[in-house]
Structures are given as C-alpha cells and as structure tokens.
C-alpha cells in the first residue's frame, strides 16, 4: 500500500538524520581540529602552552584537560556522600513514603535549574561566603567551581542510584534481617554489594555530566590558562576556555579551540559509554 | 545473656542509629541548596519584575548606572531576550519534534534490527555531548557557511541537536508502554500499518509524547553556552532568523558582565528559573496524571 511505503520511508529517513548528524558532528570537529594538530602534532594534547600573541602563537590542551579532570573529580567526591545518602533515604529508609516522594521531587528540581543561574548564584551567594570563611582571597577557583558542579550533578547520581538500590531483591534483605542483622548491616552487607556496579555506573554518568558543564564553571573557576596550582587556585576547563575565547578567535586559535572541543567530545563519550556499559551488564 | 553479648548488641544498635542519622543529615544537606537558590533569587530579584520587565528591551549600561546610583529600579527589561528565546525555541521545536517523534517510532518498531539498535546507541551518545560542543558545530555549519554571521538560525540548530535525543528517547519509552494487544486488535481489523501509527500509536501515547517534548523544552530554555557561539545576542527585538538575536540566558550573561546591571541579573535569573522549573513541574504532573500512557 502506498501509505505504508511512504510512512516506512519517512520513519527510515528520520532515523538517517541521526546517523548523518552524528557523522557530521565527528567530521566537522575533526576537520576543524586539523590545522591545530598539523601545527603541533600530538604534542598539542600534552602541551601546557597558551599564547595567542600574533607571531609567537602557541597552543596546547593540557592545562584545560587538567582543569576539567580536577574540577570534575573533586565535584564527584563532594557529590558522592550527598547522592549516596539521598538515594538510601529515598529507596531504603523511607521507600514509598510521602517524605521520600517530596525529597525526590526537590532533588529533581535541582536538575531543572539552568547552568547560568547556578553560576550567577555561585558568584554572588557562595563565593562571598567562601571568602568570609577565609578559605580564599577572591573566591574564584577550582574549589568554588567544583562545589557548584557537585550540586548540579547530585540529581543525576541520586535518581539512578535510588532506582538501582530499589531493585535489590527484598528476599535477600529479608534473609539478612531474619538472621538478626541491623539495618546498617543489611545496607553494607547486602544492599551495597548487590547494587555495587549499578551505583558505580550512576556516579560515572554523573561524572560525564560534570566534564561538559560550561556556564557555571566559566563564571567561577577564575579563567587562568594554567594547570591549577591548588584547590583554591584559578584555572580553566576545556568547556570554559571555549566559552570564553571562541568569540574572538580565528585562524589557528579557533582550530585549537575546536581541537579542545574534539578532545572533550571524546572524553565525555568514553566516560558515558563506560557508565552505560556497566548499567547494561547490571540489568 | 552474657555481658559481652549485650555489649555487642548495644554497639551494633548504636552504629545502626548513627548511620540512620548520617543518611538523614546527608539528605537534608543535599536539598538545602534548592531552598537557598530559590530564596536568594526571590528576595533579590522580585523588585525589578514589573510590566516594563516584559515589554521593554534591555537598557544600556549608562541608563542602568544612573538608576543604580540614584537607588531606583533599573529601567527596561528583557523583551529582546524573550522574543529571541521564543523565536529560537519555536524554530528548534519545528525541526526537532517531527524528526524526533518519527525516529523514536522507527527505533521502537524495528527494535530487533541491528541498524535500529545502532541508531539508539548514537542517540545515547548525542545526549551526552556537552552543549558547548553543539555550539561549535552550529557555528561551523551555519554561522560560517549558511548565514555568514551569527544568527538565530544557528542558535536554533544547536538547540535542535540538543532536543532530538531527548525526544527520541522519551518517544521510544512511551511507545514501549502501549499494550501490544491494542496493536494486535488494530491489525486484526485489517488496519494498514500507516493508519495504525497515525491513528492509534500517536494518539494513544499523546500525553507521554507531550511530557517528553515539555521536558526537552525545559532543558533547552536555560541553555546559554551554545547560544554564545551562535546567536551572540542583540540589543533590540528582532525576528530575522539570519541575524543575531538575544535570549533570556544570553541577557543574563550580558548583565552579569556589566557591574551596573546586577539588580537586573537577579530578576532575569529569577524569571528564567521560575519559568523553567514550572515547565518542568508541569511536564511531571502531566506524566503522573496520565499514568497509563
């Protein structure tokens, strides 16, 4: 029937756009990055140079790779105890109660707040607080960015962990309770061991989020094109250097920024693929 | 009971209670930021929200400085951002909703084929791509090659690529919830395949599809990074898709970089947050009301 053929063709063509889009993204990033890699070779990745002065231009990605990895890992470390206790609250201690539902909705709301609002709030509310506490002079730097980043990724880690913890068969838990185990002992000896890989995956996926986060980090990290020298030192991430410098870039500098984008794309895709793979094995 | 045994039980009970309090404390700490952020923005932002806030374009820095120095409300508003956001989100929806729905249906209908599985994996990868990278892509494709300058079209393309995976995934998930019996009943009556899709699959799952679209919209409304590389921003209201336009999040970024405008940032952030969150809540309540598809 004609209608069937047209519909099937329409569905197939739509799916092709995804294929073309994905191929186009990879090819365009790679194509844009060629001048930078041709100029510096693979040394581009390991070099910490960033000098846009005409004539003595030199670019390298390492300062930003380091900034991205440091802020994201630190954010993850801050996020883990928060997300872990919240998911236990929702799926274990108060599973199915109204309180758990409210807590879940509140945590979900955190995921809805736009990145730029986080950045602005961090700048005007959180940064002065850190300065007053005497932790840092200016308030900009890796720690401030990571703190806000941690709040931003908590909902992703929480919702997935909570789901996975609630999937632990109750027979297992009941068996432990019948032997006289306390709740804490059930959590540490039954729930966590049987949900371990899923929980790990939820944190890996949260890390994937943190790696590409742009606006909030750009507003808080201090924008220094060097490897951060400490927790409270300024730096720059791959995403924030693109946000900051893409607008006025051209020629080799633009190619260097696109190359950084390509590297960021590869890193996040690998991290996400790892998380998804663990989840699939778990389920 | 021997004293050692009671001692041991006491210890275990104590650590059990302590851990419970730790979990509760950790959960409370997790939700504190949402109250701090909402409260902070509401207290500092409400003063600037008036009629002019919605009907007038952003003031220039001199006007803002004069108002700030005399302690008055900054004149002007975010009208150029509102229209720009509306234009780009509308255009992105026009592109992303049909392609997303059809691709989602394709994946669901052909889920046993390797090609469909491959497209699903690509969608998952696309969903994980940082939004700033989509900004670079739209810059290379549209700004450099089509409109030869920053444009609303480029911004829309970046937002479209962001929306697509969200809509595809939610479409597939919604379709999975339709009982197979409904399809079988349709085929038993001799319904052709295309009618089954347009007259049964899509209407039956409509509320689920709408939820997915609303969630996708609430995600892209607050996006800033890709628009910085594509739409750039504009001081006046514009509906020309080949020219730069502003957007609410872009205005927040501009205001943020201008110390005279601080009061306006609070208001613009408050507005954006309330708008995005209510859209978010709306889609959730939509989803829970129509639990069966």
What CATH superfamily classification does A58-282 receive? MetI-like (1.10.3720.10)
- Token pair recorded at residue B164: 């697509």
Please give the helix or strand (H or E) that residue A59 lies within, else none. Answer: strand A58-59
- Token pair recorded at residue B130: 């940082």
What residues have CB less than 8 Å from B230, skipping those under 6 apart?
A: B135, B138, B139, B142, B143, B150, B151, B154, B155, B157, B158
In whole angstroms, give the CA distance from residue B117 to residue A189: 37
pLDDT in tens, B5-62: 888 899 999 999 999 999 999 999 999 999 999 999 999 999 888 888 899 898 888 8
Tell me which chain A residues have a C-beta less than 8 angstroms from the C-beta of B23: 85, 88-89, 93
Using the beta-carbon criterion (under 8 Å), do A21 and B276 form an inter-chain contact? no
The answer to whether residue A232 neighbours chain B at the CB level (below 8 Å) is: no
In whole angstroms, give the CA distance from residue A116 to residue A10: 38
> Is a pLDDT exceeding 90 seen at residue B73?
no
> Is a pLDDT exceeding 70 seen at residue A169?
yes
Are B178 and B201 spatial neighbours (Cβ–Cβ below 8 Å)? Answer: yes
Q: Hey, where are the domains in chain A?
A: 58-282
Query: Across chain B, what does the average pLDDT equal?
Result: 91
pLDDT in tens, A258-280: 999 999 999 999 999 999 999 98
Q: Hey, where are the domains in chain B?
A: 1-45, 82-231+283-289
pLDDT in tens, A114-160: 999 999 999 999 999 999 988 878 889 999 999 999 999 999 999 99
> Is a pLDDT exceeding 70 seen at residue B290?
no
Rounded to two decimals, what is the model's pTM? Answer: 0.95
Tell me which chain A residues have a C-beta less than 8 angstroms from the C-beta of B164: 18, 21
Closest CA–CA distance from residue A39 to any residue of chain B (Å): 20
The CATH topology of domain B82-231+283-289 is: MetI-like fold (1.10.3720)
Q: What is the mean pLDDT of residues B90-96?
A: 97
Count CB atoms within 10 A of the CB of residue A168: 20
Using the beta-carbon criterion (under 8 Å), do B228 and A121 form an inter-chain contact? no
In whole angstroms, give the CA distance from residue A49 to residue A46: 9
Please give the helix or strand (H or E) that residue A58 lies within, else none. Answer: strand A58-59
Please give the helix or strand (H or E) that residue A51 lies within, else none. Answer: strand A50-51
Tell me which chain B residues have a C-beta less than 8 angstroms from the C-beta of A105: 284
Q: What is the mean pLDDT of residues A175-204?
A: 95
pLDDT on residue B284? 81
pLDDT on residue B280? 87
User: Between chain A and chain B, how many beta carbons pairs sit less than 8 Å apart?
Assistant: 245
Nearest to B16 among A32, A119, A182 (CB): A182
Chain CA centroid to CA B168, Å:
15
What residues have CB less than 8 Å from B279, skipping those under 6 apart?
A: B214, B217, B218, B221
In whole angstroms, how far apart are CA A29 and each of A61, A213, B134, B140, B197?
15, 19, 10, 9, 37
Are B89 and B159 spatial neighbours (Cβ–Cβ below 8 Å)? Answer: yes
pLDDT in tens, B219-266: 999 999 999 999 999 988 989 999 999 999 999 999 999 888 888 899
In whole angstroms, give the CA distance from residue B232 to residue B134: 14
């Amino acid at each position: 029937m004609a209608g069937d053929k047209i519909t099937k063709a329409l569905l197939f063509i739509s799916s092709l756009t995804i294929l073309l889009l994905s191929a186009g993204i990879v090819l365009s990033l790679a194509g844009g990055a060629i001048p930078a890699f041709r100029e510096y070779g693979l040394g581009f990745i390991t070099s910490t140079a960033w000098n846009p002065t005409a004539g003595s231009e030199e670019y390298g990605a390492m300062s930003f790779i380091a900034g991205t990895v440091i802020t994201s890992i630190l954010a993850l470390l801050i996020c883990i105890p928060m997300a872990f206790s919240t998911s236990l609250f929702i799926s274990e201690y108060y599973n199915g109660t109204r309180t758990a539902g409210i807590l879940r909705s509140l945590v979900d709301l955190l995921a809805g707040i736009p990145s730029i609002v986080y950045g602005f709030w961090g700048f005007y509310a959180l940064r002065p607080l850190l300065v007053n506490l005497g932790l840092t002079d200016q308030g900009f730097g890796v720690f401030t960015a990571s703190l806000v980043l941690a709040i931003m990724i908590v909902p992703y880690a929480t919702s997935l962990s909570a789901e996975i913890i609630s999937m632990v068969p109750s027979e297992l838990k009941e068996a432990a309770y019948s032997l006289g185990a306390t709740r804490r002992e059930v959590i540490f000896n039954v729930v966590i061991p049987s949900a371990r890989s899923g929980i790990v995956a939820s944190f890996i996926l949260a890390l994937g989020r943190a790696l590409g986060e742009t606006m909030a980090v750009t507003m808080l990290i201090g924008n220094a094109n060097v490897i951060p020298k400490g927790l409270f030192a300024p730096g720059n991430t791959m995403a924030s250097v693109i946000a900051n410098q893409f607008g006025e870039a051209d020629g080799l500098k633009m190619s260097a920024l696109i190359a950084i984008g390509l590297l960021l794309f590869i890193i996040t895709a690998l991290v996400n693929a790892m998380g998804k793979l663990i989840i699939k094995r778990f389920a | 009971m021997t004293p050692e045994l009671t001692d041991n039980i006491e210890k275990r009970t104590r650590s059990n209670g302590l851990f419970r309090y730790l979990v509760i404390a950790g959960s409370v700490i997790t939700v504190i930021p949402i109250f701090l952020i909402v409260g902070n923005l509401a207290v500092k932002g409400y003063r600037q929200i008036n009629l002019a806030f919605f009907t007038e374009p952003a003031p220039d820095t001199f006007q803002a400085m004069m108002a700030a120095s005399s302690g008055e409300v900054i004149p002007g508003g975010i009208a150029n951002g509102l229209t720009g956001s509306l234009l780009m989100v509308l255009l992105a929806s026009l592109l992303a909703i049909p392609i997303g729905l059809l691709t989602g249906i394709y994946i669901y209908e052909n889920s046993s084929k390797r090609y469909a599985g491959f497209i699903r994996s690509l969608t998952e990868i696309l969903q994980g791509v940082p939004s700033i990278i989509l900004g670079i892509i739209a810059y290379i494709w549209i700004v450099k090659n089509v409109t030869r300058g920053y444009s609303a079209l480029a911004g829309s393309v970046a937002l479209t690529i962001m929306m697509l995976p969200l809509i595809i995934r939610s479409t597939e998930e919604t379709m999975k919830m339709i009982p197979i019996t409904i399809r079988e009943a349709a085929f038993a009556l001799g319904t052709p395949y295309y009618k089954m899709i347009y007259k049964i699959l899509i209407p039956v799952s409509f509320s689920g599809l709408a939820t997915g679209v609303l969630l996708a919209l609430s995600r892209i409304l607050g996006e800033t990074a890709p628009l910085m590389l594509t739409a750039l921003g504009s001081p006046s209201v514009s509906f020309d898709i080949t020219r730069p336009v502003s957007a609410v999040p872009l205005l927040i970024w501009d205001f943020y970089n201008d110390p005279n405008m601080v009061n306006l940032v609070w208001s613009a952030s408050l507005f954006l947050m309330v708008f995005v969150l209510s859209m978010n809540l709306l889609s959730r309540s939509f989803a829970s009301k129509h639990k069966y598809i």
